[in-house]
Homo-oligomer: A and B are copies of this chain.
């Protein structure tokens, strides 16, 4: 049931393959000195960097570059960026890249003018910056679809010292002022990364969908998004430059995690928690960790929410209800999910991501356990799910 909430999402989205022409318009409304942050340099090979630098030059910005954001941004990298943003006294942060880069930009934004340990305060202790504290406004030019970071306040950071990967969801103030969503910018993403992004989207939707047994509009919207992602993924894996499919995937990613489909929902997020622990220990690609553990996780918890899993099978996977019990339907739906994971080339085992049987206890110990979906896992259940995902 929809409870009491405030919905406000100020991010302005410039969508489409003309989107780069809008970047100048968007930049006209932000400050003079821009911290430009990006990853390993792929944007220099595919032309995105040139587009962005042209728009920054046309709007007369002073640019400070902060490259080298890694797929799982670390506390060390955060401290480096925060120091640079502060000493350069930038007015705005422009993230160019995938979700990790946008997450990183938010982290730098809140950390730059904070004198203490940002990791402890914002991630470990899950605090929000105070209203009077200075944060740096940011925008995004997205080059990969998946995390939804372009229209939300989420920021995931990894502490390699403690093998902890933690997500913090900041409020409206930390959402990007704008995001440029050009599906063509995602064409040069390696196929494996595209597939990881697709599963990340699917997982975001499922982790908001699998809770409760009430009637809630959010679940119907979630079903629509899942059907769209599945349909487009099947086109995109065979034809990665199919603009229609890539544009649907990009748009679905944004709406999968921008505070729309979570309204009225408890949210599960245990697949993300297990996935984060795997990435913290192996540096495995985020979306692949989710794919590798989802079938085992859902086979384990579906008994606690059979009706919703049966509905998932019927509505999302078009499995006829006739002649099947809810339990049979539920498992048929998860089987369809597992078959789709294989079909699109996502990870089907955590062993393929570098997790060995000997590591399972350690990985399980890094998992933050929430009591938010159909069932609260014990440590032993996490171990069992990891073992079933090998």
Residues of A whose CB lies within 8 Å of any CB of B are: 1-10, 12-19, 22, 183, 214-217, 220-225, 227-228, 231-232, 235, 243-245, 247-248, 251-252, 255, 260, 263-264, 315, 320
Q: Beyond A215-B231, A244-B215, is A7–B2 a contact (Cβ under 8 Å)?
A: no
A247 and chain B: residue at smallest CB distance: B2
A25 and chain B: residue at smallest CB distance: B6
Chain B CB count within 10 A is highest, among A7, A17, A245, for: A7
**Distance (Å) between the CB of A134 and the closest chain B CB?**
21
Assess the B1–A6 pair: CB atoms within 8 A: no
Query: Across the interface, which residues of B come within 8 angstroms of A248, CB to CB?
Result: 2, 215-217
Query: Across the interface, which residues of B come within 8 angstroms of A216, CB to CB?
Result: 244, 248
Give the complex CA separation of A222 and B222 in angstroms.
11
Q: Beyond A10-B10, A224-B224, A225-B221, is A244–B4 a contact (Cβ under 8 Å)?
A: no
A221 and chain B: residue at smallest CB distance: B224
Query: Across the interface, which residues of B come within 8 angstroms of A12, CB to CB?
Result: 6-8
Give the complex CA separation of A221 and B218 in angstroms.
10
Assess the A15–B263 pair: CB atoms within 8 A: yes
Give the complex CA separation of A343 and B194 in angstroms.
46
Can you name 16 extra interface pairs (CB under 8 A) apart from A2-B251, A6-B12, A255-B260?
A2-B16, A4-B15, A7-B12, A7-B15, A8-B12, A15-B263, A215-B228, A215-B231, A215-B235, A215-B244, A215-B248, A217-B228, A220-B224, A220-B227, A220-B231, A227-B315
Query: Across the interface, which residues of B come within 8 angstroms of A14, CB to CB?
Result: 6
A6 and chain B: residue at smallest CB distance: B14
Copies of the polypeptide in the assembly: 2
Give the complex CA separation of A19 and B183 in angstroms.
38
Give the complex CA separation of A12 and B243 in angstroms.
33
A17 and chain B: residue at smallest CB distance: B4
Query: Across the interface, which residues of B come within 8 angstroms of A2, CB to CB?
Result: 15-16, 183, 244, 247-248, 251
Query: Across the interface, which residues of B come within 8 angstroms of A320, CB to CB?
Result: 320
Give the complex CA separation of A320 and B232 in angstroms.
23
Give the complex CA separation of A120 and B52 in angstroms.
43
Pairs A–B under 8 Å by Cβ, sample size 23: A2-B16, A2-B248, A3-B16, A4-B16, A4-B18, A5-B16, A6-B14, A6-B22, A9-B9, A10-B10, A15-B263, A215-B231, A215-B232, A216-B244, A217-B228, A217-B232, A220-B224, A220-B228, A221-B221, A221-B224, A221-B225, A255-B260, A320-B320
Give the complex CA separation of A26 and B259 in angstroms.
20
**Distance (Å) between the CB of A179 and the closest chain B CB?**
10
Give the complex CA separation of A217 and B18 in angstroms.
19
**Distance (Å) between the CB of A130 and the closest chain B CB?**
18
Give the complex CA separation of A22 and B252 in angstroms.
31
Q: Beyond A217-B228, A220-B228, A244-B1, is A6–B13 a contact (Cβ under 8 Å)?
A: yes
Give the complex CA separation of A263 and B215 in angstroms.
26
**Distance (Å) between the CB of A321 and the closest chain B CB?**
10
Assess the B215–A245 pair: CB atoms within 8 A: yes
Query: Across the interface, which residues of B come within 8 angstroms of A16, CB to CB?
Result: 2-5
Give the complex CA separation of A217 and B221 in angstroms.
11
Assess the B220–A225 pair: CB atoms within 8 A: yes
Query: Across the interface, which residues of B come within 8 angstroms of A315, CB to CB?
Result: 227
Give the complex CA separation of A359 and B221 in angstroms.
41
Chain B CB count within 10 A is highest, among A22, A221, A232, for: A221
Give the complex CA separation of A244 and B217 in angstroms.
10
Give the complex CA separation of A52 and B335 in angstroms.
53
Query: Across the interface, which residues of B come within 8 angstroms of A9, CB to CB?
Result: 9
**Distance (Å) between the CB of A31 and the closest chain B CB?**
20
Query: Across the interface, which residues of B come within 8 angstroms of A5, CB to CB?
Result: 15-16
